[in-house]
Chains A and B, each alone.
Chain A
Amino acid sequence: MKKSVFIGALTAAGLMAGAAAAGTLDDVKERGKLNCGVTTGLVGFAAPDANGEWKGFDVAVCRAVAAAVLGDASAVEFVPTTGKTRFTALASGEIDMLSRVTTWTFSRDVDLKFDFAGVAYYDGQGFMVPKDLGVSSAKELDGATVCVQTGTTTELNLADFFRANNISYEPVPVETNAEGQQQYVAGACDVYTTDASGLAATRAAFENPGDHVILPEIISKEPLGPLVRHGDNDWGDVVRWTLNALITAEELGVTSANVGEMASGTQNPEVARLLGTEGELGAMLGLDADWAKRAIETQGNYSEIFATNIGEETPIGLARGLNAQWTDGGLLYSPPFR
């Protein structure tokens, strides 16, 4: 009996590692479809809309990569992953890239053997409490029951924050954002903690968003971005530079509306290189010349993606803040297209 159990585990592990071979770019082209890991549902970042179509900030990054590589922004198979399953899914080759509000940390990059393709959203961990609790600072949360998604950096930051401030709490581990939301609404926990953007998205989905406040403390740095398997550098470059193309497009004033016009008659050499009318940047990536143009055409530049999914006009209502271009005092800074 012991033996048979062992074999089962080894088979599973063997299959898992077997699939994770190099050459993702070719695999994706051959398959004609990009397998992209997203959340199980976080409005604004990745959630199916009323028609069952995936929408959101993370989704747009997936679609941009699909548009650049395959020429079709809809050729994406969205694989919902939880905080627990996401890394196994990526490491095993079930998904080609993970675009799932995932924090770039040292151990994930180095020890778990992933490569982060850049930062798509600069976030930080916050706390949400019902207004009638009368709490105005996270330091007043001594003894509170806190809902936290398990398997996330949030869980570790939470432990660190309460230990550093020498106050106690009781964790209620939840698997998904939806479950956390449900527990919080049912009053099974006093506080819900996750990335501030996630809190805003969750609060927007409440019946009376005004009854809940997000506390001013941001207790961590959470640079969120897409990631790929370590060691497949060609594929990593494609994802990295697609993201950079979206950021650069905003910086250079290229939008989904004017991208066609800019491509045909621009005086700006960097725009020409970005959109493939000049130079061989696409070929260097193993793609055609129009790769970035297609990504921008279908998804819009960074500011358009931000505004339609999570910006101030949407129910989620996030300000650009740290996520403004470096020219506007934010942190977004794409290396040059040259």
Chain B
Amino acid sequence: MTTLTDPPGSTFRLSMLLNDTRYRSTTLQVIAFILLMSAIFYLYSNLATNLREAGLNISFAFLGTPAGYDINQTLIEYTSQSSNLRAAFVGILNTLLVAFLACIMATIFGVIAGVLRLSKNWLVRKLMAVYVEIFRNIPVLIWILIIYALMTIASPSPRAFRGDDATASMILDGAAITNRGVYVPGPFFTRGIGGEDGSVINWLLVIAVLIGSFVVTRMVTARANATQEATGVRPNTLWTNLAIWFVPIIVLLFILGLAWDIPELKGFNFSGGLKVGAPLIALWFALSIYTGAFIAENVRAGIQAVSKGQTEAAAALGLRPGRVMSLVVLPQALRVIVPPLISQYLNITKNSSLAILVGYADITATLGGITLNQTGRAIECVLLLMAFYLAASLIISAVMNVYNNSMKLKER
């Protein structure tokens, strides 16, 4: 006689939460979540209790009160009577400006150095290796200080331009390099829309025209590609594209009456024209050349990741070395280069917070420095600072990820 017993029913026992693989991971996650939440709650209540005991509170009202201090580089209108919030925005714009400039410059440095590191010329190859190793292995803080110190010591002060026995003179009578910054002629519009104050609209107009030209040239190129596919003959687009780029903008600038404001020595400093401050230049250059060394290594790694057969095949088709690099190797290498490049861009943005070292008024210097000190609202200011850097980094990541997705191998 055979006895057939049913498999045990699916009765749930508490021990199964740990022993049964079906439940174990969920259990552990729930425990971890509870621990995390209680830790957060403990820290928060500790903070709240201690603040209350010290008679302090968390309040963001200080953002609306007048800042009371002046800032040396303001991209938007700002006086010492503007609010702390506006001072923070001035800082944010300054941070974004230097980060943007440094990202572009670092990419240029990095790509050039990375490609040249693989040069067949021994001297060039070794020179680039020296550049990478020196700049990569010394902290960026020290580079910022060195470059700023060299700038302030090596270049003449505005005083040296004065008098008959001036020891320094302006370049082409239009630009001056001083230890406080570089002064160049600044463009302005004599017949601009909205008179003196309407200059923003004029510049937006200029940018709109440039974007329009860009879109149209893309369309012309696309049509040329289509023609080439259909007939095998590529129409010459060079002159058309040049005309599309230059004619509208020249006409617009002529209508608006573009003129140049030449800087001249007045009192203590040069006035008029466009001033690029020494702190901005030092920070920009230091961040670019430092991060450029890292990017160079990324670029080298990316290029070496492209199989040698690709280069040889391209050479066999009769492409010159320069075209092999730009048409065959680099487009494939970009797939390897872009992901680490994102983190280099993030590093630049975060490293720009060292700006206060050279007196550059970035967000850390305005909101996290002077405002924090003058109002004593340390926790609030630091929270806002963290929120800003987090948001900025996430936005940069998002944009670069979109680019990365468009570059990566399309699997079909």
Please indicate the chain B residues that have their CB under 8 angstroms from the CB of A187 in the complex: 152, 157, 159, 179
Is the CB of B80 closer than 8 A to any CB of chain A? Answer: yes
B369 contacts A151, C-beta separation under 8 Å: yes
Majority secondary structure, B binding face: helix
Is the CB of A158 closer than 8 A to any CB of chain B? Answer: yes
Is the CB of A231 closer than 8 A to any CB of chain B? Answer: yes
Q: Most chain-B Cβ atoms within 10 A of its Cβ — which of A113, A169, A173?
A: A173
B46 contacts A145, C-beta separation under 8 Å: no
Q: A17-B50, A156-B374, A158-B70 in contact; A2/B390 too (CB < 8 A)?
A: yes
Query: In the complex, which of the residues A111, A112, A186 contacts B152, with contact meaning CB atoms closer than 8 Å?
Result: A186
Complexed CA–CA distance, A231 and B149 (Å): 45
Please indicate the chain B residues that have their CB under 8 angstroms from the CB of A284 in the complex: none
Is the CB of A328 closer than 8 A to any CB of chain B? Answer: no
Is the CB of A74 closer than 8 A to any CB of chain B? Answer: no
A143 contacts B269, C-beta separation under 8 Å: yes
A17 contacts B370, C-beta separation under 8 Å: no
Is the CB of B235 closer than 8 A to any CB of chain A? Answer: no
A159 contacts B46, C-beta separation under 8 Å: no
Complexed CA–CA distance, A183 and B46 (Å): 43
Complexed CA–CA distance, A12 and B72 (Å): 32
Is the CB of B407 closer than 8 A to any CB of chain A? Answer: no
Q: Most chain-A Cβ atoms within 10 A of its Cβ — which of B43, B149, B356, B372?
A: B43
From residue A7, how far is it (CB to closest CB) to chain B in Å?
Answer: 6
Complexed CA–CA distance, A9 and B70 (Å): 29
Please indicate the chain B residues that have their CB under 8 angstroms from the CB of A83 in the complex: 373
Quick check: which of B96-104, B186-194, B213-221, B376-384 contacts chain A, the rest being far away? B376-384
* CB proximity to B under 8 Å, residues A172-195: 172-175, 183, 186-190
What is the size, in residues, of chain A's interface with B at 8 Å between Cβ atoms? 57
B47 contacts A14, C-beta separation under 8 Å: yes
Interface size classification for chain B: 35 or more
From residue A336, how far is it (CB to closest CB) to chain B in Å?
Answer: 31
Is the CB of B254 closer than 8 A to any CB of chain A? Answer: no
B54 contacts A155, C-beta separation under 8 Å: no
A163 contacts B80, C-beta separation under 8 Å: yes
Is the CB of B195 closer than 8 A to any CB of chain A? Answer: no
> A123-143 interface mask toward B, CB cutoff 8 Å, 1 = contact, 0 = none?
000000000010000000111
B47 contacts A13, C-beta separation under 8 Å: yes
Query: In the complex, which of the residues B68, B267, B386 contacts A142, with contact meaning CB atoms closer than 8 Å?
Result: B267
Is the CB of B69 closer than 8 A to any CB of chain A? Answer: yes
Is the CB of A258 closer than 8 A to any CB of chain B? Answer: no
> A194-230 interface mask toward B, CB cutoff 8 Å, 1 = contact, 0 = none?
0000000000000000000000000000000000001
Measured CB to CB, the nearest residue on chain B to A5 is B386
* CB proximity to A under 8 Å, residues B40-74: 40, 43-44, 46-47, 50-51, 53-56, 68-72
Q: A11-B43, A169-B70, A231-B55 in contact; A174/B376 too (CB < 8 A)?
A: no
Please indicate the chain A residues that have their CB under 8 angstroms from the CB of B266 in the complex: 143
A-B contacts, 6 listed (Cβ < 8 Å): A3-B36, A17-B56, A145-B268, A163-B79, A163-B81, A173-B370
